[in-house]
Amino acid sequence: MDMTEALEIVTFRLKPGKTAGFAAAFAAANEPVSDWLRRQPGFLSRHLAERGNSWIDVVRWQSREDAQAAAEKIMAEIGDCAAFQAIDPESIDMSHALVIASA
């Protein structure tokens, strides 16, 4: 098993009508997601950022296996939360990358 840290990088847009002024509400709606992530094996940190009309969610994991295990079960366990319901599902792009350097 590879124990190299991994980043999960998810980009997405919110559903139409969930734009200007919604950032603070969306950030608050993400607390259940952050709480769920904190309970997952291998979770290290999460950073949610707004970039114009899109969002970037970067989660740092102890390994790619930890990241993939969480990705496989998150929607079944908390997919009905307000944060996920605000996301345009067609806009989601998720990838994993191994960390080769860190400061």
Percent of the chain surpassing pLDDT 90: 76
Report the pLDDT value the prediction gives residue 22, as an integer from 0 to 100: 76
pLDDT higher than threshold 80 for residue 42? yes
pTM of the model: 0.90
6-98: CATH class: alpha beta
For residue 10 the two structure tokens come to 């998810």
For 65-77, give one letter per residue: b (16+ CB within 10 A) or e: bbbeebbeebeee
